[in-house]
Homo-oligomer: A and B are copies of this chain.
Amino acid sequence: MSEQPLLEQLIEALQCQPGIGPRSAQRIAYQLLERDRDRGLKLARVIAQAMNDIGQCGSCRTFTEAELCRICASHSRDGSILCVVESPMDVASIDQAADYRGKYFVLMGHLSPIDGITPETLGLHILEQRLQRGEVSELIVATGTTMEGEATAHYLKEIAARADVRATRIAYGVPMGGELEYVDGSTLSHAISSRREY
């Protein structure tokens, strides 16, 4: 093993995460050592197991250690509505917040030819075959609003059209519960141009 003291190795390893700087890592390390060694050991076990065993759902591509994720395996979810998101975290966000009872398809990224991320990398050929089979009646596009997200949304719209599947897109605009003065210009401009009858 390395000559570096174990405590330093621990503090360094804990820093690998977003939002955990040197000070927090130090605090976590001491906390685990002083009070929570059993918890630390459990954390180590769960991390290792998750890294080794979690793969992707055979149907929607999200993270799961099973063949199918819970949502895809559920009989109470409506398989004719498919919401396409960029990451497994988006599935969790939508499922926690919204009253959505359809299923998902997770791209695990967005189109970015410059980084070698093609439609095939995102499983879009598999999605297209699925749309062609006619089991999906509505494809909800819920990609991000970055340039790559927009390009991906456009591509999704096209494969839906080819398969004669209705494509919809989640609403983008002013967030709920906020004052207009705190909303950035491009969101406001989008909100104005996408205004609806009231």
Contact = CB atoms under 8 A, between A and B. Distances in A.
A42 B10 CA distance: 10
Given A5-B64, A30-B87, A89-B27, A37 B19 contact: no
Interface in A29-49: 29-34, 36-37, 39-49
User: How many copies of this kind of chain does the complex include?
Assistant: 2
A70 B19 CA distance: 29
| Interface size band for A | 35 or more
Given A70-B5, A87-B30, A44 B51 contact: yes
Interface string A1-33: 000011101100110111110001011111111
Tell me the dominant secondary structure on chain A's binding face.
Answer: helix
Interface of A: 5-7, 9-10, 13-14, 16-20, 24, 26-34, 36-37, 39-54, 63-66, 70, 87-89, 92, 108
